[in-house]
Chains A and B, each alone.
Chain A
Amino acid sequence: MNRLDVNAVGYAFGSKTVLDGVSMTCAEGELVGVVGPNGCGKTTLMRCMAGYLVPDAGSIAYNGRPLRDLPPRECARIRAVVEQQLVTPFDFSVYEYVMLGRTPYLGRFGSETTEDHRYVEDALGLTGSSPFRDRLIGTLSGGELQRVMIARALAQRPGILLLDEPTSHLDVRYRLEIMHLLRDLGGERAVVAVLHDINDAYAFCDRVLLLRQAKAVAFGPPAEVLTAGALSDVFGVVAHPLEHPGTPAPVLSFTLPTPVRRRRAGRIVVIAGGGSGRHVIASLVHEGYDLRVGVLNEGDRDLELARSLGCPALTEPPFSRIGQGSLDALRDWCMDADAIVLAAMPVGEGNLGNLVVAEELLGTKPLVLFARDQTFGCLDFTGGRGEEAYRSVAQGAPVASSVGELLGLLEREIPKAPSLSGAEE
């Protein structure tokens, strides 16, 4: 059974600690991704795992045998390494280069056997490099070069394969091809890849090691490691997980955390759905309001957005009618809030309750209707009840048709004293 064990490895360049107690494992059949911001120690970890750097602390083992006890030649028969770059001023043909992978098996004088040639052919075939086998290394494109480097590693017949950013210089097509190849290679090998692209790690890896400033933050399945919270801590970005119809794993979209522009006090409940809150929610959060979002079904875009911004939300299972319990909770939140924003959403029998609550609170609480225009008919899928409710809200409350207008109205509606937000309790 091929297996790589990294146990509490530490490494320092002079006084600068680059790795501090990092542990991970990779078993046969697994593709493990190493992810982290620039300078977090990914490449150093790779070099330690590969045996180029000797860790100051901890240990590394291939198939249960400590790396420091393995002679270089034997090591090279167990593991192969694909480096970030291939640099040489001299010309080699692709075939000659891939044949170098047989070095750990060849004696000083013996020439290559038919077996060696077969392994080289296999490696060229697996990586799709056969068409350019006779070309010179210097004439290859980035994608071709990456395949050839992987082919050389495969010619070593390794049980453990280590790759340092194998896709970082590649076009999208090549990148996906290489990632699929890596996942397929995992079958009978233990494969560890330092990855630049978090989505690749999410979609292709069995387990992910997340590094931050020399330390391992988490190690486990991507869905458990690459959470919005962890990514925010480690990379300082806001991750929005988006369901993608074509891939099983969600696609993460990243934005910089927008700094809070003004510190506005006040608690606001936003009632939205189906994306009607997308302009409102982010803007209000960035203005500094304390935001809660009214009853949404799981899978709703507004709910994903609210979660990525850390706003509490009331939820119902997908496609189900909003229950009385949630509506009561919504009413309580609203009573507790300084203002309510109703972001006009399409309304059907399922979410009509949201609208009813808003209508009931007219006059009791400051309420602003956010609607691009006032043709409520096209939002109504209840046969008139919804449109009627919107009209009555529009008559009893100010209507904003842009975010700027909404912010202005809220400033007027919410009394200035910041302490008011808790006054009614």
Chain B
Amino acid sequence: MHQRINPLWMYLGCSVLLLASAVLAVCIGESPIDCRTVFAIVAAHLLDPGAGYATADETIIMLIRIPRVILAAFVGASLAVSGAVLQSLFRNPMADPFILGISNGAALGASAVLLYGVSFGLGLFNLPLAAFVSGTVTILLVYELARTGNRVATNTLLLSGIAASAFMSACTSFLLFVSNENLHQVIFWMMGGFAGRTWEHVVMLLPFTLLGVGVFLTLARPLNALMFGEESALYLGVRVERLKKILLVVSAVVTGAAVAVSGIIGFVGLIVPHIVRLIAGSDHRVLLPLSVLIGATFLILADLLARLVIAPAELPIGVITALCGAPFFVYLLRSRRGAA
């Protein structure tokens, strides 16, 4: 017998977990501020949004830690939900925005903006937009390379991802090398992390994440149909070609925006959907919202760890996610040997 827990309990459990990690991450940090003070500061600013920041504690909490935690949550949610969608789109559990090269592709666009000030005249949104454009190009390239007819085999998908990734990061390196800008800053950004991120970054990411998650949630049912192949989905009345295009472009939007604000953070989109599938099954109406919640929680905790392990210095968060993710990736690869 195969019984599943009522999704409502899982939503509730995961929301509590997310809130708890957020509170933990806001309370813990380099400068010791006790929890009661933190709550008092947050409560005061919630009641009176216009108030200034009188004390150092207030500044640290309101302008450094809270935006950082919120940003980590949004980036985690974006990457996790993109991973879930890409896995279903490719019907391949090894898919993930990082492994498929979208992250590196997006990084190329973002570097162009950061180093050369390429502009679409969109102010704040230049960066995520450039990341989105180059991310989309990459994912379309990978898809075309990996596809034989309508099937995407694991090995060709992974190899195309590696090839595209390598090509895009080579382009990025070239841009870095020939520019005279502050290389250190860009390289640090590319390694991924939330150090020094502000409310501005939250605003930069917010619309894309909300849009992406919203679009994905409305497509949960057709995504379920797609799990058994494009032909099968068509027979269930799904407009498959349109659905595929929407999914590819929107996952590039969401990933691109996440990369634009946080750099390249790997493996989140691989691990989180798998954990969710283990506990909640493959129905996208449950899988996608839970991936959002658990993805956010995972990255908040990973960021907390990155801040604490060698404090007062910080580890790049990619180190933490790769340390968790790479063994997981190997496990998946081994356990799925023989499957297409």
State the A residues within 8 Å of B (CB): 47, 50-52, 72-77, 80-81, 83, 86-93, 96-97, 100-101, 103-104, 106, 108-109, 134-136, 156
Contact = CB atoms under 8 A, between A and B. Distances in A.
26 contacts: A52-B231, A72-B238, A72-B239, A73-B237, A76-B236, A80-B235, A83-B229, A83-B231, A86-B228, A87-B340, A88-B91, A88-B229, A89-B336, A89-B339, A90-B91, A90-B227, A90-B282, A91-B281, A91-B282, A93-B4, A104-B236, A104-B237, A108-B221, A134-B3, A135-B1, A136-B2
B222 A103 contact: yes
A103 B237 contact: yes
A76 B240 CA distance: 13
Given A89-B91, A90-B93, A76 B237 contact: yes
Given A72-B234, A103-B237, A134-B3, A109 B228 contact: no
A87 B238 contact: no
Interface residues of B, number: 33
A134 B4 CA distance: 10
A156 B91 CA distance: 23
B55 interface: no
A173 B293 CA distance: 48
A136 B218 CA distance: 25
B281 A88 contact: no
Nearest to A105: B237
B237 A77 contact: yes
B224 interface: yes
Nearest to A79: B235
Majority secondary structure of chain B interface residues (helix, strand, loop or mixed): loop
Given A81-B232, A83-B235, A89-B340, 4 more contacts: A72-B234, A75-B237, A88-B227, A135-B2
Interface string B59-103: 000000000000000000000000000011001110000000000
Interface in B223-266: 224-225, 227-229, 231-232, 234-239
Nearest to A91: B282
B283 interface: yes
B277 interface: yes
A103 B236 contact: yes
B221 A106 contact: yes
Contacts of A89: 91-93, 336, 339-340
A103 B3 contact: no
Contacts of B88: 90
Given A87-B340, A100-B228, A109-B218, A92 B282 contact: yes
A104 B218 CA distance: 15
A51 B336 contact: no
A100 B225 contact: yes
A72 B241 CA distance: 12
B229 A87 contact: yes
Contacts of B336: 89
